Structure 1
Amino acid sequence: MFFRRIPSISTKDLNEKLNEKPLIIDVRSPNEFKSKHIKGAKNVPLETIHSYHPKQKAYVICASGMRSKQASKILDKNGYDVVNVKGGMHKWNGPTKGGK
């Protein structure tokens, strides 16, 4: 259990789940989030992830996959069901929204 692997998903697979309205946590900065994000995603910057308590399985995304991996490890350690999104917004080809 010491080196528990965090499950991960591709951006393509996440895009296919959008109709299920998954909880998507975007851990980028508020400015990055405002410029372009997945519609319905919740912005919880990495530095505040310790105090976030998801109520359901969460898909964690950032720009490239590094911050989301860190955030996923923190949430997993705190007992939450999380999945890291590989490649982040750089690999995202699905619908996006600008602004809040």
Structure 2
Amino acid sequence: MSIFSRLFAKPFATVDGATARRIVEEGGLLVDVRSIAEWNAGHAPAATHLPLESVEQRAHRLPSGVHLVTVCKSGMRSASAARILAAKGYEVSSVRGGMSAWRHAGGRVVNKNGREGTV
């Protein structure tokens, strides 16, 4: 690996929805970094909500030794969150395509009342 590659390599993986689901099914934790309004409209039932603006201050609340999978609407905010969490020593992946990719891969999405949600 060249010095350029090492300097600019991402400290986290980017995964598709199916891979994200597999990681979560194998004991990983899905961390939804969207706004409260987005979360209320639709989120994965087993996800933990940690809005992007809270990740830096509240990362210590996440379990250590667990593969974290960050998700947002499109993948941009989840990549930012993954970068922050990786810098804090977490094993983390970001979902490319966000919640739409999660749903397309067969992941459930519920609203704040536990009914079918939207993304």
The aligned residue for residue 38 of structure 2 is 32
2:98 pairs with 1:88: yes
State the shift of 1:36 in Å: 0.4
Report whether the alignment pairs 1:4 with 2:9. Answer: yes
Matched, 1:97 2:110: yes
Distance 2:84 2:23 in 1: 24
- CA offsets per residue over residues 53-90 of structure 1, 9 Å max, x none? 22222000000000000010011111111111110012
**RMSD (Å) for aligned C-alpha atoms:** 1.6
TM-score by length of 1: 0.88
Determine whether 1:57 maps to 2:67: yes
Evaluate the alpha carbon distance shift between residue 82 and residue 17 of structure 1 in structure 2; reply closer, same or farther with a 3 A threshold: closer
Count of aligned residue pairs for this structure pair: 100
**Which of the pair is proportionally richer in helix?**
2
User: Structure 1 18/71 Cα, relative in aligned 2: closer, same or farther at 3 Å?
Assistant: closer
Letter paired with 2:16: S
Identity rate, percent: 32
Q: Distance in 1 between matches of 2:49 and 2:80?
A: 15
Residue 17 of structure 1: how far off its partner (Å): 4.0
| Unaligned ranges ≥5, structure 2 | 1-5, 114-119
TM-score between the two structures when normalised by the length of structure 2: 0.75
Q: Where does structure 1 differ by over 6 angstroms across 4 or more consecutive aligned residues?
A: none
Larger radius of gyration: 2
